[in-house]
Every structure is written in structure tokens, then in C-alpha cells.
Amino acid sequence: MSLLTPDFGLLFWMAFNFLIVFGILAKFGFPVITRMVGERRDHISKSLQAAEEATKKLENVRQESLAMLDETRVQQAEIIKKAIADGEQIVRNAQQKATEETEKQLEAARRSIEMQKERALSEINAQVALLSLDIAEKILRRQLDDREQQESFALQMVEETESIRRKRSHKR
């Protein structure tokens, strides 16, 4: 017997054992292995399907976020545009109020100047009248040396003053 060639009994028992092991595996092992491989295949298939759905959802979320970003940019532009318009309106209102206030102050200054002018003219007229009276008195003293001429002239002046005062009171 040689080591390289097995004898017939050994081959028989090896084949017999192989068939028994194969039968046991076919009866009990292969169905379990097949079932586990099927479950693994189903699990992988479900995982791939879930991954595809997640990818689709992620894409939808990305599209929605891009749409929201675009909408936000549009709203931001509108808000900035409105803020600029409001700012310009506030500036225009402030300028208008400043112009109106300046006009009021100018008008008040004009009235004040006019009143001061009238007062100054009144004072000047009063001073001129006083000076005129002083001059007239000096002139009259020289011309009216006697008492009768002075009384006659004084009465005439009183009458003229009364008539001028009546005319002014009728005009008012």
C-alpha cells in the first residue's frame, strides 16, 4: 500500500461520511443558510430602498432650502428697499419740517424787524415832532411878542389838532 493511493475501504467510509454530512446539511443546514442569505438579501434590498428614499428626501429638502433661500433673498431685498424708501421719506419729512420751521422763524424775524422798524419810526417821528415843536416855539416866541397873538394862535392850533384827530378816528 502506498501513501499516495488510498485503499477501497477508506474511500468507501469517506464517501459514506460525506453523504451523511451532506444529507444532514441538506436537511438542516442549507435551509437555514438559504433562509439567512434570503433575509440578508431582503435586509440589503430594504436598506438600499431606504437609502434611495433618504436620498430623494434629502434632495427634496435641498430643493426646498434653495427655494427658501431664494425667497429669503427676495424678502431681504424688499425689506432693504422698503427701509431705504422709509429712510428717504423720513429725510424728506425732516427737510420739509426744517424748511417749515425756518420759514416760521424767518416770518417771526420779519415781524419782529417790522415791529422794531415801526417803533423806531415812531420814536423818530416823536423826536422830530418834539424838535419841530421846539423850533416852532422858538420861532413863535420871536414872532408873537404880544399875548393876544399867542392866544389866537394857540386856539387855532388846538382846533386843527382836534379836526385831525377826528379824521383819524373816522378812518379807523
pLDDT in tens, 23-42: 999 999 899 999 999 999 99
| Residue whose C-alpha cell reads 420814536 in the numeric block | 123
Q: What are phi and psi of 5, to 5 degrees?
A: -110, 115
Q: What is the mean pLDDT of residues 108-137?
A: 83
Question: For 117, what's the count of Cα atoms within 13 Å in the CB-facing half-sphere?
Answer: 6
Average pLDDT rounded to a whole number, residues 151-170? 77
Reported as a pLDDT band with limits 50, 70 and 90, residue 141 is low
Whether 110 has a pLDDT exceeding 90, the answer reads: yes
Per-residue pLDDT at 65: 95
Q: How far is CA 87 from the centre of its chain?
A: 6
Q: How far apart are CA 131 and CA 137, in angstroms?
A: 10
- Tell me the CA distances in angstroms from 63 to 1, 59, 68, one per residue in order: 80, 6, 9
Band of residue 2 on the pLDDT scale cut at 50, 70, 90: low
Secondary structure (3-state) at 152: helix
* CA 158 and chain centroid, separation: 76
Name which residue leads in pLDDT, 4 or 86.
Answer: 86
Q: Is 40 helix (H, G, I), strand (E, B) or coil?
A: helix
Per-residue pLDDT at 123 exceeds 70: yes
Mean pLDDT, the chain, integer = 87
What pLDDT was estimated at residue 153?
74
pLDDT > 80? residue 130? no
- Give the distance from CA 45 to its chain's centroid: 56
The average pLDDT across 58-75 equals 95
Q: Tell whether the torsion through CA atoms of 117, 121, 126 and 130 is positive or negative.
A: positive
pLDDT for 1 equals 53
According to the per-residue pLDDT averaged within each range, which of 101-110, 137-146, 157-166 is highest?
101-110
